[in-house]
Amino acid sequence: MSNDAEIFRDTTAEMPAEWELPPFTVAEFAPRQTRFCIGIPIINEGERIKTQLQQMRDLGLSELADIIIADGGSTDGSTDRDRLVPVGVRTLLTKTGKGKLSAQLRMFFAYALHQGYEGMVIIDGNNKDGVEAIPQFLTALEQGWDYIQGSRYIPGGVEKNTPLSRVLAVKLIHAPVISLGAGFRYTDTTNGFRALSRRFLLDPRLQPFRDVFANYNLHYYLSVMAPRLGYRVREIPVSRIYPAKGPTPSKIKGFRGKLAILVELFRAALGFYRPPLSRP
């Protein structure tokens, strides 16, 4: 990364002391411009994130919401400043400590809240999701919705080349379990394309900034807690298209990885991650 990027290494010191955050660095390429932001968690996404960011640039999305990359420690050159700035990325966050997706999300949420954003959209950086739906999420945030889940399984949604095992897992296990725990019927709970309001994340009954959220459980926890805490929740149609050929883009590998996901899923649905003050 070029030395002319503005880098801060002590940002966490400016945030609430009770927030448990992974160590991370911040490279800001431009000042904040918008009310909302778009967070993209990645790690070694290579050409996939390059293509996705170019699509977002072509649609003018960086003019609607600031784009923030939440990197888990990529080593493939995909986060070089010269690749990010031309496509409108405002900030690069780089996690330097332990943890997987949930740690990246805590890093992103903390930075976004510290910067004063009123809401944020999250979308994976592997170019599977239709970025053209992002304005719909932003509109929903403007309308006062607090938790907006993207779904390929409601009218208007699109899915292509989804592995059968994933379809069955979502429809028969994941979505029913989360829906029961949340008291709200979700249809696509493994989809990381979603949006959240500032007031939801800052609710003292939620407390998302805890080290217990390290792997993939924060997504599940937030899905359960948003309706449980009385926030406005809805789904909107999105597209998710897997590659027609080649390996399926995924960070979850092998039987042990899938088993760990199931354990986190049921723990979230059963309330194990709730802070003491929000438990029944």
pLDDT score of 3 more than 70: no
Instruction: Please indicate whether residue 252 or residue 223 has the higher confidence score (pLDDT).
Output: 223
| Residue 108's pLDDT band (cuts 50, 70, 90) | very high
pLDDT of 270 reads: 96
CA dist., res. 141 & res. 10, Å (int)? 30
Question: Rg of the Cα trace of the chain?
Answer: 18
Q: What is the CATH number of domain 24-274?
A: 3.90.550.10
β-pairing verdict for 194-197 and 119-122: antiparallel
pLDDT of 12 reads: 63
pLDDT digits (tens, 9 = 90+) for 67-98: 999 999 999 999 999 999 999 999 999 999 99
Least confident of 23-37, 207-221, 225-239, 249-263: 249-263
| Residue 214's pLDDT band (cuts 50, 70, 90) | very high
Least confident of 11-25, 173-187, 247-261: 247-261
What 3-state class would DSSP assign to 155? coil
Q: Which two tokens stand for residue 188?
A: 């696509």
Nearest Cα residue to 167 out of 188, 148, 185: 188
Percent of the chain with pLDDT over 70: 90
Residue 249 identity (one-letter amino acid):
P
pLDDT digits (tens, 9 = 90+) for 134-177: 999 999 999 999 999 999 999 999 999 988 888 998 999 999 99
This prediction's pTM: 0.91
CA dist., res. 154 & res. 235, Å (int)? 8
pLDDT digits (tens, 9 = 90+) for 27-74: 999 999 999 999 999 999 999 999 999 999 999 999 999 999 999 999
pLDDT of 277 reads: 66
